[in-house]
Structure 1
Amino acid sequence: MKYKSLFALLLFFQFATAQNKIKSNTGLEDREVWVKSLYKISYPVIHNLAKETLKKNMPLAHNPDYGLNLTKVTYLEALGRTIAGVAPWLALPDDDTKEGKMRKQMRLELLKGLANSVNPASPDYISYREESQPIVDAAYVAQAFLRAPKALWEPLDDLTKKRFIEEFKSLRTRTGAYNNWLLFAGLTEGFLLSIGEQYDPARVQFAINKMKEWYVGDSWYSDGEKFSMDYYNSYVIHTMLVDLLKILVDKKRAPESDYDLAVKRMVRQSEFLERMISPEGTYPAFGRSITYRTAAFQVLAQTALMEKLPEFIKPAQVRCALTKVIQNMYDGNQNFDGKGWLVLGFNGHQPMVADSYTSTGSLYMATLGFLTLGLPADHQFWTDPFTPWTSLKAWTGEPLKKDYKVEY
């Protein structure tokens, strides 16, 4: 019993020390953690694409059971997934701060890289015209343009825009999986609609109708006809459905009530994600595609970015919780190789957890957990003092809101 008491005491002091360390951070210090980590993740992809060395320098790691045509899909995965996450941050206006200079440099390099990626004469030309996988990653490219139109789409020259439009339309020769993939096809078509291009309304409506049909309750969508317990509600479903419905409402092709309902469900999903973050800033490694790391929190990050968090979840508690997750994942180098590329794994080099469709390019979905960097540094998300998140309150005996279920 004596040893057990000593062990419990030791755990208490370790926990107290960790919490004191958290509480010493200001919101702006937390923002520095986010910026440093997002830049660290994104730089190799964006910088190499700007220099036309992405295909030359990006590793081609995959697990032994990998089943795709690697060189025809992994580079578009890296591009689309990276820029979908950095887009809100790059959409902020230029300023003379250290962060502002980093952001401007990355944005200018990305604009060069985007032009290279659709230029058939470039060594880094990335075709959308073969395989089914580009249906997925074209949607993340389109989502980046939707999230930062003035920073990433409008500055492109007319020829580059024309080339992207042609690549997007070329996807219509193929179909993909009968699950969340419907939203990928729908969102790319939705982007074409948003810029006044001819689009395929059938792909859009089919995606919307199936998501309505596959809703199982309390903010959870089935990923296809059968439910699977994983993070795909956050990786894909809620955010792409909300973004697609926003386009349709703006273009008077869907009732605003559909959009409002999708947002309400996304907000409820954000509550689950916030509760999943442990007092230590960890979260469960369950389900498919855990190699996407912080993409698990895309819904929470987007809900905070849209300023739609429920009243009882304070912006600062989301910031503090996600900061701990980001520190656990990216402060060390366990998730990066010697040249700064992400490695296969969850929190370290763990290739055994990679799926048969996962390669180096796939991993860059991790940026999706950083969407809230699109809020400026003087927003209350960053300026409010340290606020404990739900599980930290629960495990330290503080008052917390009882959970519930929703009927919508």
Structure 2
Amino acid sequence: MTPVENRELSPYTGWTRQHWASTADGLLHAVQRYRSPSGARFDLPGPVSANGSRADGLEGFARTFLLQGFRVVGEQGRDPTGLLERYAEGLDAGTDPTSPERWPRPDELGQAKVEAASIALILRITRRWLWDELDDRVRQRVVDWLSTVVGQPYPPINWVWFRVVVESFLREVGGPWSAADIEEDLAVHASLRRGDGWYSDGQERAFDHYVGWALHLYPMLWTHWFDVVGSLCPVGTYRTWTADLARYLDDLLHLVGADGSPLLQGRSLIYRFAAAAPFWVGAVTGHGGLSPGVVRRACSGVLRHFTDHGVPDSDGLLNPGWHGSWPGMRQAYSGAGSPYWASKGMLGLALPAHHPVWNAVEEPLPSESSDHGRAISAPGWLVSHRRADGVAIVLNHGTDHAGTGERRSDSALYARIGYSTATVPPLTGATVDDPVDNTVAIVDADGNATHRTGFERLYVREAGDEVLTAASRGRACWIDAREDETADHGYGRRGAVVEGPLLTVASVLRAGVEVRLVRVDAAGWDARVPGCFVRMGGWPVASDSDPAARGGTRRTRVSFESSELRSLVFGVRGFTGGGLASEFGTSPLGAWTAVPWLATDGVPVGEVLAGGVLLDRGGVPPVDPTVLAIPDGEGGHEVTVAWPDGVSTTVELPGTP
């Protein structure tokens, strides 16, 4: 039975701990029909990952084991699902070298390194009720299987935490482990720290949900649930991490829409409500800095966003997709068991029913209580939200899953200028190679658009008067990546490069309205190439009906309105025309995707162009700012945006370096 809503305790979502427990138990019971005979695998229906079906079956076990473990801990050892013994049987079969269901070892298959961490973490926190009750022979086999991580190479990204967690468990149960491994992994983690609580998942500018559900989650749970502070983890490091978590969550709270949707940006979005995990980490460890009512509001909002949109599916399963099944969201490593990393987002169930987070009255999110956002320096983001529509948007001048100067095609989930909690870039189709949405590009005579990956971040600032500003520049390049068949791990693709001009782009953001400034510098590129022009794309809005009937174009004012959203671009300076691009079957949010765009006649080198860009639910009145650009004598410009109410904002577009 569905629990009854409690609008006194939870005025925003109605949800209580009973709703969370009911959802979790439903997920756990639904996968049991796909349990292998001895329980070591859950061979779920759906696509097979690049790692193969054996790895996918292990994923199904390990990731649902996470959820089972959280349920047992939150009930102080009681097994509310009655499934713990079945997972114990799976541990026995999976680690038995003679079993037909034996798991690939971490030294045999990289994905097993990931899943080993989930298994070790749950064995640690349920030790009294599971590990200590296993036969000695089973415990030894589990140790033997886990210990193959020792001395193994791990990529210098969030993966280092999988080895830390496994070896820390081995240390506590008398198994082999390596202090050198853990020291090396902690050094990698330190190298990923970018300030203000933010980490990059690798040395590239890789800012995404992994910051929260991996690079904050594992360090904080490691220091909370393992006996490591003052031994393996220096006290000063621990204090840094706790401060980082609180600072990060203060930003992350602004990236949740009023409807509970997380930001649609970055890889592995099929993990869905795993986006709630970092909020729960703060509550579990007591170091999040957020009030219990805000934590539950954020987490229940995220989970309910998905349950209100058909998640899990009619069979009670999590499939690859966002709301419904949409395999185009998968990365190469994603299989049918992968979506169950969403279990991380149910970490709060490890907290008992009497914990304050379950008993405080919900408090509003910034997206439903404030019209102002913030500048977030590390990822190079400007964040804005409005009470009128509850959509959180990000303008991106620092993230592309690459490094400065790299030549790759733009990854749709990293390199766009804009992301939001209500839109997603087309993930398949023509615009993957020739991006339109939230871009500034040079388009050639054949209709091919340049890419921006490898750009240089110039600044990210709060400019006063509730105005946010950011700028970036880089060599616009045509990338022919049709021959690149490397696995999709979220990066752009490589290919033949044709260099174009230098593009400097700035965003001036106020009350959700962006004035996007552009200057093209030839910088060695022949501006006389025939047929080229500058195109500036707006927000991609999904619709279940053909966009042709809902778009509006008046020369340099182009809009598209779905039943829920409006995307609008309007010329302010230098643009002479526009149109509406539409594609079918390229988005998990709707059958069609429409993007309004503006264009110039030719390529006006050295001139400042300006266009307005807006995403809303139709409630923002028209704004017609003016833009004045004054050369600075060094090839750059000082640009002033004058808003209709008298506020002025001045930013610089630096000259060619």
Q: Does 1:293 align with 2:269?
A: no
**2:53 aligns to what?**
71
Q: Does 1:157 align with 2:135?
A: yes
Residue 167 of structure 1 aligns to a residue whose secondary structure is: helix
Cα displacement string for residues 130-178 of structure 1 (whole angstroms, at most 9, x for unaligned residues): 2211111111211222333223322222222111110111234743423
> Would the alpha carbon gap of residues 240 and 181 (structure 1) be closer, same or farther in structure 2, given more than 3 Å must change?
same
Contact residue 208 and residue 241 of structure 1 kept, 8 A: no
**1:315 aligns to what?**
292
**1:114 aligns to what?**
91
Contact residue 229 and residue 238 of structure 2 kept, 8 A: no
% same residue: 23
Shift of 1:223: 1.5
Q: Does 1:37 align with 2:23?
A: yes
Residue 52 of structure 1 aligns to a residue whose secondary structure is: coil
Query: Gaps (5+ residues) in structure 2?
Result: 1-6, 371-385, 389-460, 463-657
Contact residue 290 and residue 353 of structure 1 kept, 8 A: yes
Contact residue 147 and residue 175 of structure 2 kept, 8 A: no
Separation in 2 of the partners of 1:85 and 1:277? 23
Q: Does 1:23 align with 2:2?
A: no
Contact residue 42 and residue 58 of structure 2 kept, 8 A: no
More deviation in 313-322 or 364-373?
313-322
Shift of 1:329: 0.9
Separation in 2 of the partners of 1:155 and 1:169? 20
**2:643 aligns to what?**
none
Query: Which structure is higher in strand share?
Result: 2
Q: Does 1:348 align with 2:327?
A: no
Separation in 1 of the partners of 2:195 and 2:76? 42
Contact residue 72 and residue 131 of structure 1 kept, 8 A: no
Contact residue 76 and residue 138 of structure 1 kept, 8 A: no
More deviation in 178-187 or 363-372?
178-187
Residue 194 of structure 2 aligns to a residue whose secondary structure is: strand
- Where in structure 2 are the equivalents of 1:204-283 lying within 5 Å? 204-245=182-223, 247=226, 249-250=228-229, 252-283=231-262
User: Which amino acid letter does the alignment assign opposite residue 145 of structure 1?
Assistant: L
Contact residue 40 and residue 58 of structure 2 kept, 8 A: no
User: Which amino acid letter does the alignment assign opposite residue 198 of structure 2?
Assistant: W
> Would the alpha carbon gap of residues 121 and 318 (structure 1) be closer, same or farther in structure 2, given more than 3 Å must change?
same
RMSD: 3.0
User: Which amino acid letter does the alignment assign opposite residue 329 of structure 1?
Assistant: F
More deviation in 251-260 or 153-162?
251-260
Separation in 2 of the partners of 1:191 and 1:108? 21
Separation in 1 of the partners of 2:36 and 2:308? 26
**1:58 aligns to what?**
44
More deviation in 353-362 or 53-62?
53-62
> Would the alpha carbon gap of residues 290 and 93 (structure 1) be closer, same or farther in structure 2, given more than 3 Å must change?
closer
Contact residue 9 and residue 359 of structure 2 kept, 8 A: no
Higher RCO (C-alpha 8 Å, min separation 6) = 1
TM-score normalised by L of structure 1? 0.80
Contact residue 316 and residue 385 of structure 1 kept, 8 A: yes
TM-score normalised by L of structure 2? 0.51
Based on CA coordinates, which of the two structures has the bigger radius of gyration? Answer: 2
Contact residue 220 and residue 285 of structure 2 kept, 8 A: no
Shift of 1:126: 2.0
Contact residue 132 and residue 175 of structure 1 kept, 8 A: no
**2:118 aligns to what?**
140
Shift of 1:120: 4.2
Query: Which structure is higher in helix share?
Result: 1
Shift of 1:123: 4.7
User: Which amino acid letter does the alignment assign opposite residue 63 of structure 2?
Assistant: R
Shift of 1:51: 5.2
Cα displacement string for residues 205-245 of structure 1 (whole angstroms, at most 9, x for unaligned residues): 11101111221111111212122121111221112223445
Contact residue 30 and residue 317 of structure 2 kept, 8 A: yes
**1:170 aligns to what?**
148
Shift of 1:286: 0.5
Contact residue 334 and residue 349 of structure 1 kept, 8 A: no
Residue 140 of structure 2 aligns to a residue whose secondary structure is: helix
**2:496 aligns to what?**
none
**2:471 aligns to what?**
none
Shift of 1:354: 0.6
Residue 133 of structure 1 aligns to a residue whose secondary structure is: helix
Query: Gaps (5+ residues) in structure 1?
Result: 1-18, 398-403
Shift of 1:34: 0.9
Contact residue 221 and residue 227 of structure 1 kept, 8 A: no
Q: Does 1:185 align with 2:163?
A: yes
Aligned length: 367
Separation in 2 of the partners of 1:387 and 1:202? 45
> Would the alpha carbon gap of residues 45 and 156 (structure 1) be closer, same or farther in structure 2, given more than 3 Å must change?
farther
Contact residue 280 and residue 345 of structure 2 kept, 8 A: yes
Contact residue 72 and residue 130 of structure 1 kept, 8 A: no
